[in-house]
A and B are shown apart, each in its own frame.
Chain A
């Protein structure tokens, strides 16, 4: 392939925390792709009848299942909020450095609060009892 000019690689730039949010958007996106496979596996197991579902349910209600669900929920809230941020940029809003940093902090705050609320519902007493 012909040698083509390259844009400066990411390591050329001074780190800014908004860059971390950008890569985390990607990481949570990949995690959510896996979570989608898990959600579909859960639906398929329910469609296979009560016995099959009862056999896999401990995977879901066990501590590992709840931790994975918590990670998926946190990833979803982050990807959702930061996705709105990207959509705002696509519409031409929020490009100023101060705005981009403010919205970054807002995304993190909403993710933390939202994830905390969801974690309560995942781990509340009696949640997911079979």
Chain B
């Protein structure tokens, strides 16, 4: 026996109608990420050295800053969607779940912004 009206129960436990959007964006970001991930993996592994001039030179060269920024943004987006799914499945209770979802969102946005800023800073300092 609940004191809540049927409408209130339905509003909070039904579909929010954005499930398909989540599913689709997860796939679209995956497709976008596929070539970028291969590019980044091969590029990083074939760097002749991981010292400062080599790394910053590579980050700032040609289209690299654009591709890197894109990779970071799309990877963060894809990661946020995936972690959200994991939290929704394994973290129970309204407060814990909401806190975990919020924390994940904030960390993803913070790191994405920080990463893009770092790439731009290195690229622009290179005297482009």
Contacts and interface: CB of A to CB of B under 8 A. Distances in A.
Interface of A: 1-2, 26, 29-30, 32-33, 36-37, 39-40, 43-44, 46-47, 50, 53-54, 57, 60-61, 73, 76, 80, 83-84, 87, 90, 118, 121-122, 128-130
Given A29-B79, A61-B50, 12 more contacts: A29-B82, A30-B82, A39-B72, A43-B72, A44-B118, A47-B117, A47-B118, A47-B119, A76-B37, A80-B37, A90-B27, A118-B41
Contacts of A36: 72, 75-76, 79, 111
Contact of A57 (B51, B79, B83, B115): B51
Contacts of B9: 2
Interface string B57-70: 00100000000100
Interface residues of B, number: 36
Contacts, number: 88
Interface of B: 9, 13, 27, 30-31, 34, 37-38, 41, 45-46, 49-52, 55-56, 59, 68, 72, 75-76, 79, 82-83, 86, 107, 111-112, 114-115, 117-119, 121-122
Contacts of A29: 79, 82-83, 86
B11 to A, nearest CB: 13
A1 B46 CA distance: 55
